[in-house]
Amino acid sequence: MGVRRWALEAACWALGVGALAGCATHPMPTAAGTEPPELRVAAAADLTKAFTEIAAAYRRETGQKVTLTFGSTGLLTKQIENGAPFDVFAAANESYIAQLEKEGHTLPGTAQLYALGRLALWTRKGGPACPTWVGALIAPRYDRIAIANPEHAPYGAAAREAMQAAKLWTPLREHLVYGENVQQALQYAQSGNADVAIVALSLAIGSNGDYTPIPPEMHRPLRQVMAALKSTQQPEAAKRFVAFVNGPEGRPIMRKYGFLLPDEKLTAAR
């Protein structure tokens, strides 16, 4: 099942020549004694730490509560297609937002690239030493290797590509343990149900374990895109949230958790 967590968030960023230029993050006007309606954001599991922190910063700025639902991008996409009442969707791969745009589920003109994701090898303290590169996974001590399910989790698909680049996908397939999303893959390694995991760098940073970043050239870029959804009942707030993530408040937090920002070169993430 998708990992769920409640938090707070939303906001504003000036889009160069875009329609949101000049938008300010002031508390939203409401009737006396009432709070603005909460904003519902579906987000890829790799965003668990970053978006929870961004959400707290947003509430301090605006007073609006945001409910965050984390899970695999593919499964969240299916929920949105089936009518799940989200206001914003932050995907771990741009193809899913493009699919939702084609189907008419997003507000036109709101899709934005907000980050490029990174992979990392991860082991728990007291477990096997963390591999220094993907090729080391062939060692017998890594009997169980956790990754997100590559059929619906972009970080799982990237993990598969990295293993293929190291020519280990076929030899190690029987040793793989699949999580529903990248957060669950990490949990398998944290609990000892896997010896090592290939996870999002954003989840490895600050965790109680050891990790080794995986070179980005070993997999296709994880271009992460978000958009306001057509089903929202508060389109302006949804647009403000998208802008906030890409704004001066959200960007440093994304960078803190190892994400490469849209205007940075991929080599800068090494």
Rounded to two decimals, the pTM is: 0.84
Contact present, 210 and 122 (Cβ < 8 Å) = yes
pLDDT above 60: residue 138: yes
Token digits of residue 22: 């000049």
pLDDT of 186: 98
pLDDT of 267: 45
The mean-pLDDT minimum among 27-41, 129-143, 200-214 falls in 27-41
pLDDT of 265: 65
Contact present, 247 and 118 (Cβ < 8 Å) = no
Contact present, 214 and 162 (Cβ < 8 Å) = yes
Contact present, 10 and 35 (Cβ < 8 Å) = no
124 by DSSP, 3-state: which?
strand
| Distance between CA atoms of residues 63 and 85, nearest Å | 21
Q: What is the pLDDT of residues 93-111, one digit of tens each?
A: 999 999 999 999 999 999 9
Average pLDDT, the chain: 88
Contact present, 182 and 153 (Cβ < 8 Å) = yes
Token digits of residue 101: 């745009």
127 by DSSP, 3-state: which?
coil
pLDDT of 180: 97
pLDDT of 62: 87
- Domains contained in the chain, CATH given: 39-116+223-269 (3.40.190.10), 119-213 (3.40.190.10)
Residue from 242, 243, 251, 5 nearest 116 by CA: 251
Q: CA–CA distance from 253 to each of 103, 222, 244, 264 (Å)?
A: 32, 18, 11, 15
* Longest Cα separation, the chain: 64
| Distance between CA atoms of residues 166 and 10, nearest Å | 40
Residues across the chain: 270
Contact present, 32 and 262 (Cβ < 8 Å) = no
